[in-house]
Structure 1
Amino acid sequence: MSHSSTALIETRSGLEHQVGVVGAGPTGLLVAAELAIAGVDVVVLDRYEAPDTTIKAGSINVATAEILDRRGLRPAAQAAQQRFGEELKAFAAAHGTPTPMSGRLAAGGRASFPSTGHFAGLFFRPDLLDQTDPRIAAHPGAGSSVMVRQSETEALLGAHAEALGVEVIRGVEVTGIDPLRDDQGVEVGIALSTSRGPFRVGWVVGADGGRSLMRHLAGIDFVGTDPETTGYQAIAEMDGLERLRPGWNHTPTGVYSLGPIPGRILTVQFTGAPDRAIRDQPVSVEELQASIRLVTGQPVTVKSIKGRATRWSDNARQAVTYRAGRVLLAGDAAHVHSPFSGQGLNLGAGDAMNLGWKLAATVNGWAPEGLLDTYTTERHPIAAQVLDWTRAQVALMRGDDKTAQLRRVVQQDLLSNTATTTYMVLTTSGIAQRYELDSGEDEKPPHALVGSVIGDAPLSDGSRLADHFHTGRFVLLDRLGGPLAHTSARWSGRVETIVEDTAVAGCPESYRVLTGLLVRPDGVIAWATETADADEAVAVLIAALSQWAGTATQILEAVTR
């Protein structure tokens, strides 16, 4: 946003920023970047003086890798994966184990869909994944950028937000929120009380973690299930590691995982929630060592911890709504669960993408009625499913004999066939998620692709479909010779249009048969058609654009008439 535009905001309403994001983790940075790419003036406030380098998720899923790709960040993610790969290779060489990156080449050396993953420590077999499944075929190439650690993801999102002009202010503690009203008593914004004085903003996005103050101050209930485990994760220097097995291991007293990088250890003990008296204190060498010995039954000695270790539980809770007036929640502020499979980072990225463009449309004044409320209705069920997924994993990790037998059934009878493995990989990858969206047609059901996440495809001009999302606008594919493109021009500045005569070689079959495709800024398919009737396609496209992109630009409407 230009300085003149900012001054105009201050003159009209006394606001300093259109949106304030509280929390500079991956979710907060991504939602801020999505707002900035749409021209919204946004500030990010974070209580920490520096980015959090605590060891957390070791990878991102396919859906998150594709989010980065659609915003032009694929090269940075690929570079991060390459760096991580060197560490994985070093661990594998030292322990004689395969790396998590193996098994990603299909016959003939072609890049395949990434199949590395696990459910409760039971790993999926790459050879059992159906690489011909049409849903998988529509998402090529993501395997080159999924092994990106959370710290690296946060760093590249921070650089992305900075390049878009986002102001990130660290070392600021937000302590309160109060409504701002105009002379007629209408609420026009929120005053954030902070350790550096007040910040007057139009909207607040709470991305401030599982103990979110923004959620508490907004009066949003946080419901779910209490924890029964305490877990630890660290990079440590240890003696006695020869007594432990690499990978995930179940024991009568819990679960531990050694690797896949040198010094990385994770433990899960079924001893209830972490002690509240120490939950805000750093994990000590003695505490980590006690957990390792309890779970493994081996006299491992922890000599030192590199960086900060994490302490966590399987507390699983979700905000009953993601919006209270001008306060919205995203990421861990909206939902918490155990970190198994690293779903928290991916869930937060999905929140940020869904919320960013909708809040930007609201701030910029063109949002269709009720658009911002679809953030909760679309994302809440997705998080609920993830919470249940993580609860099931905790149940499968218990150390009793009956659970051990259940694990054998799951691994030997369920995860030993192609259909189940493909389903599990599709679910953990994030590409199986689907929103229940209207078709824009009163009498016809929506196309099967509507509501699903867009993959990628080569285009006739030599570009990829993903290349056209860098500006954060709607993307329209017109294979009917121009009438769809002509129609979308009425939404000037909101839609990027691609016109091609026919699909090119290498285009996934599910996209090859389409004559028209409209994708929202968050990568969700809003409309698709296979009809050759241009008049029919134009009529439904207008309905879809009106539903999601608001009223057509009036000046261009007049010209069109």
Structure 2
Amino acid sequence: MTDADVIVVGAGPAGLMLAGELGLAGVRALVLERRTQRGEIPKANGLGGQILELLHYRGLLDRFEAACSGPSHPAPQYPFGGVHVDFSSLPHPPLRGLTLPQPELERLLDERARELGAEVRWGQEIIDVAQDDTTVTAQVRGADGSYQLRARYLVGCDGGRSTVRDGAGIAFPGTTHPEVNRLGQLTLHESVTRHDDGDVDVPGLGRVHAGAFVRTDRGVFGFGWLTPEVMLLSTTEDETTDLADDVPMTLTELQDSIRHVLGAEFPLGEPRRLSRYTFQARQAERYRDGRVFLAGDAAHLFPATGVGLNAGLLDTVNLAWKLAADLHGWAPPALLDTYHRERHFAGARTLKHTQAQVALRRGQDPAAEALRDVFLELFADEQPLRRVGALIAGTDIRYPLPNPNGHPLTGAFAPDLTLHVDRGTTSLAELTRTARPVLLDLADRSDLRETARPWRDRIDVHTAKADDRPADALLVRPDAHVAWAATPDEPEATAVRGLRDALTDWFGAPSR
């Protein structure tokens, strides 16, 4: 007898997202959190990238937008390696953002997880983890003493200093960069004058350009606008002090840092959010050890802002349906191993571009300045601008899946097609809200629908028409990635064989 199907260690965004996804798939999740209550420090100030599209596919984006009193919006500018990448010239920017402080994000994810049957326990610290062929046993310390919990699987979503990762003996190689970054969202001080172009005049300092990074021999100062009323100020200084994440940053600390970097005062208005963080470039050597898995910051840390939450939440969406498939008894033998293969691949891709940002950001000599200037020149052209936007958003990730017919969508996030059906119109996003696999027949292929019949207990089959259809049919996994696609010119026998193989590889043996 087990206490839960899956024990999730950590009630941060990744752990709570995982618990919700497991609940959606009919799995009992028990979340254990070392903290006694939800934190109020906004370690992250919002969401951006591919995860927003996934939330849309789950029918959750409206709920998240309502919590921050505004829709997600294209990011006009985004920091990349010490320069601002300007997407405002593009009619359809490749990167979207949602301003949502982490405490509010955690509240929403906690609410959803509980709605779907998860249990969340606060003040429960994992001491040790042991496993055998069938279960995982967690030694837990709570307010009333130590006790044991058993589950079929355990997932460490317990951050960069993961107890689960260390207990599993999984190496976490990488680099800690000797710098501290401070970030403030503040109203405009009455002594500072704003111009129509967003620049400001600061008494004793002069004109400061919006979107600019000011470099001195003491660090880097950044200035921009989060909204027309709220400034975004940042500093980066080389420091070796190990600052505790749970110690709030004060307005005085930010003011002192700005004064040190600029050598001048920058009057600060009313703070909306203050945060401090360090940069690390690390990735776990493996995301799985038997019945123990890692996700989020326990699996990777990136030396740039705005990508960690996106990657961590996408980890959990990839993992949840695979754990559920195994627990429900229909997973093919190698399905759980694909979690490491796919998300380690995605993490390595994110690590590469964030490490490139370190090289751009930290250089202080004329050669580094020249490199940043060249990058800005490249970003003046649409194709490289879109490419770097996709890099930041994580929308360029295409898992290396078996792809016998070479269809370009295989392994990629499924496009949200507008679908014409008998009752009117719908969308692919609406078909994926239940997190069940979908076979979408776009060319009235009875041969493909008949091939999928033995899997109808675990996949949904839909027939529709789409304008400029990208394929005759798409097999879409619960994480909204395309497992297989039929090309229009593919021989019928080849398409049937390809679909049957994909169904077996991803969704197990056919039912009788």
Higher strand share: 2
Counterparts of 1:371 and 1:353 in 2: how far apart (Å)?
14
Superposition deviation, residue 117 in structure 1: 3.0
Report what 1:168 is aligned to: 120
Alpha-carbon spacing, 1:473–1:541, altered in 2? closer, same or farther (3 Å): same
TM-score calculated relative to the size of structure 1: 0.80
User: Which of 328, 336, 345 in structure 1 is aligned with 2:301?
Assistant: 336
Q: Does 1:375 align with 2:342?
A: no
1:192 and 1:200 in contact (8 A); partners too? no
Partner AA of 1:51 in structure 2: R
1:473 and 1:494 in contact (8 A); partners too? yes
Residues 256-267 of structure 1: matches in 2 within 5 Å?
256-261=222-227, 265-267=232-234
Report what 1:539 is aligned to: 497
Counterparts of 1:164 and 1:448 in 2: how far apart (Å)?
35
Superposition deviation, residue 162 in structure 1: 1.9
Moved more, 50-59 or 210-219: 50-59
Counterparts of 2:185 and 2:76 in 1: how far apart (Å)?
25
Superposition deviation, residue 382 in structure 1: 1.4
Superposition deviation, residue 265 in structure 1: 4.6
1:174 and 1:195 in contact (8 A); partners too? no
Superposition deviation, residue 336 in structure 1: 0.7
Q: Does 1:390 align with 2:354?
A: yes
Superposition deviation, residue 84 in structure 1: 7.3
Q: Does 1:520 align with 2:477?
A: yes
Alpha-carbon spacing, 1:187–1:329, altered in 2? closer, same or farther (3 Å): same
1:463 is paired with a residue whose SS is strand
Report what 1:475 is aligned to: 438
Partner AA of 1:216 in structure 2: D
Alpha-carbon spacing, 1:245–1:128, altered in 2? closer, same or farther (3 Å): closer
1:434 and 1:452 in contact (8 A); partners too? yes
2:350 and 2:394 in contact (8 A); partners too? no
Superposition deviation, residue 214 in structure 1: 0.9
Counterparts of 1:523 and 1:492 in 2: how far apart (Å)?
18
1:395 is paired with a residue whose SS is helix
Residues 371-450 of structure 1: matches in 2 within 5 Å?
371-398=335-362, 399-411=364-376, 413-439=377-403, 444-450=404-410
Moved more, 147-156 or 321-330: 147-156
Per-residue displacement from partner, 1:264-321 (whole Å, max 9, x unpaired)? 5543434133x136565333444332212122332246688666x4321121111000
Partner AA of 2:439 in structure 1: L
1:295 is paired with a residue whose SS is helix
Counterparts of 1:231 and 1:288 in 2: how far apart (Å)?
10
Moved more, 197-206 or 296-305: 296-305
Alpha-carbon spacing, 1:248–1:157, altered in 2? closer, same or farther (3 Å): farther
Superposition deviation, residue 146 in structure 1: 4.2
Report what 1:295 is aligned to: 261
2:155 is paired with a residue whose SS is strand
1:314 and 1:338 in contact (8 A); partners too? yes
Alpha-carbon spacing, 1:409–1:146, altered in 2? closer, same or farther (3 Å): same
Report what 1:199 is aligned to: 149
Q: Does 1:490 align with 2:490?
A: no
Per-residue displacement from partner, 1:173-216 (whole Å, max 9, x unpaired)? 2222233x5xxxx4422233232532222211100111111111
Q: Does 1:188 align with 2:175?
A: no
- State the aligned residue count: 486
Superposition deviation, residue 236 in structure 1: 5.5
1:121 and 1:248 in contact (8 A); partners too? no
Report what 2:198 is aligned to: none
Alpha-carbon spacing, 1:150–1:534, altered in 2? closer, same or farther (3 Å): farther
1:480 and 1:534 in contact (8 A); partners too? no
Percent of aligned positions that are identical: 34
Partner AA of 1:38 in structure 2: A
1:346 is paired with a residue whose SS is helix
Counterparts of 1:394 and 1:489 in 2: how far apart (Å)?
51
Superposition deviation, residue 326 in structure 1: 1.4
Alpha-carbon spacing, 1:414–1:333, altered in 2? closer, same or farther (3 Å): same
Aligned-residue RMSD, C-alpha: 2.7
Per-residue displacement from partner, 1:36-62 (whole Å, max 9, x unpaired)? 111111111112233333224344334
Alpha-carbon spacing, 1:424–1:276, altered in 2? closer, same or farther (3 Å): closer
Partner AA of 2:51 in structure 1: T
Report what 1:255 is aligned to: 221
Alpha-carbon spacing, 1:258–1:129, altered in 2? closer, same or farther (3 Å): closer
Report what 1:93 is aligned to: none
Residues 136-155 of structure 1: matches in 2 within 5 Å?
146-155=98-107
Moved more, 231-240 or 249-258: 231-240
2:155 and 2:293 in contact (8 A); partners too? yes
Counterparts of 2:163 and 2:446 in 1: how far apart (Å)?
50
Moved more, 53-62 or 327-336: 53-62
1:229 and 1:270 in contact (8 A); partners too? yes
Residues 26-175 of structure 1: matches in 2 within 5 Å?
26-80=13-67, 82-83=69-70, 101=73, 116-126=77-87, 128-129=89-90, 131=92, 146-175=98-127
